[in-house]
Amino acid sequence: MLIKSTVNLTKLIVFSGLFFFSACSKTTYPRETIENDVVRIVERETGLSSSASLVGSTFYLKVALPDLINTQADIQKEVMKNLQKVNLAIIRVSLSTNAKIDYLVMIVDLPGWKTNFSITQRLEDLKGFLYHRISKADYEERVIYDLKDPKGYDTEPFKDISRNEFIVKLILSKVNWIKMSNPFVNAALGLKLDLVNYTDSSIVLKTSVMREGNELASGYIEKTLSEWANKVVAKYKAYNFKELKVVDEKGKPIIDIKISSSAANSKNR
């Protein structure tokens, strides 16, 4: 139930109020004060405490919302409104600053559930949507949604995200999110893919629950990964990786996907 609520929630957050920012261009938030500026906006408009950090060209905003989801895993409407304001705050500041920002990451802690979810997006993709260069559907496919496993809760440090890392995590996010948002697929597969490593030419993912001999599950994952890998490479054509592998906990290969070279050379933006 928590997963279903979070899936619905993230889409509401991303699209709520975005069209109000199509005219943002004047620099009103200097690089030197941008972190304090967004924290101040969040506190003024929601009464919530938050923390912000600009690491390289990646802008992080983190807020805790213990009352966002109740014990029945229902989203609280009043808190949801505040969360939308938090999201709009980081967008407003990022669109009106002289700081170099390539990626936005909003992290929402759910302390009672011992987890958090994050929304990561590329600022150029956001601008493309606001200025009608890409469609709503295309924009949504460019957003990374991530729900942390309780075991990895609040352990990942803030760091500057590279273009290649964003692309790799976007592929991973789309496959995991399909599984989490579909109860049947989730029950049938019962697995989550995690990133092991990547280079300029390959990606290695790991799963701990793929059952040996389960051709249907393996085939579904392979088809879905292949589809999204080619789709994402087509959107960000500068990244020419050739291979995507899935291994088990012992490093034994389970799936090996060759990425089509035509995807990397696609004319899609």
Nearest to 31 by CA among 102, 101, 88: 101
Taking the mean position of all CA atoms in its chain, how far away is CA 66?
A: 21
Q: Is 254 helix (H, G, I), strand (E, B) or coil?
A: strand
Domain match, 108 and 45 both: yes
- Is residue 182 in some structural domain? yes
**Cα 138-143-144 angle, rounded to 5 deg:** 145
- Is residue 269 in some structural domain? no
Which is higher by pLDDT, 226 or 81?
226
Domain match, 119 and 18 both: yes
Domain match, 151 and 178 both: no
Domain match, 153 and 39 both: yes
Domain match, 195 and 62 both: no
When pLDDT is cut at 50, 70 and 90, the band that residue 266 belongs to is very low
**Cα 94-92-11 angle, rounded to 5 deg:** 100
Of the three residues 161, 194, 225, the one that is the final residue of a domain is 161
Give the rounded percent of residues in the chain with a pLDDT score beyond 90.
40
Domain match, 119 and 219 both: no
The pLDDT of residue 28: 87
CA distance 113 to 245: 32
Domain match, 74 and 127 both: yes
Whole-model pTM: value is 0.83
CA distance 21 to 27: 13
CA distance 228 to 234: 10
- Is residue 43 in some structural domain? yes
The pLDDT of residue 264: 44
CA distance 51 to 74: 26
- Mean pLDDT, to the nearest integer, of 56-62? 97
Q: Specify whether the CB–CB gap between 12 and 84 falls below 8 A.
A: yes
- Mean pLDDT, to the nearest integer, of 83-94? 90
- Is residue 221 in some structural domain? yes
Check whether 142 has a pLDDT greater than 80. yes
pLDDT tens-digit readout, 229-238: 999 988 997 5
185: phi then psi, degrees, rounded to nearest 5: -65, -40
Domain match, 71 and 180 both: no
- Mean pLDDT, to the nearest integer, of 150-161? 74
Domain match, 134 and 206 both: no
Domain match, 139 and 186 both: no
Domain of 68, in residue numbers: 2-161
Domain match, 127 and 41 both: yes
- Is residue 210 in some structural domain? yes
Q: How many domains does the chain have?
A: 2
pLDDT tens-digit readout, 209-226: 665 556 667 788 888 899
When pLDDT is cut at 50, 70 and 90, the band that residue 187 belongs to is low
Of the three residues 107, 136, 161, the one that is the final residue of a domain is 161
Domain match, 37 and 137 both: yes
Of the three residues 129, 161, 193, the one that is the final residue of a domain is 161
Q: Show the beta-strand stretches assigned E in 111-200.
A: 115-122, 144-147, 194-198
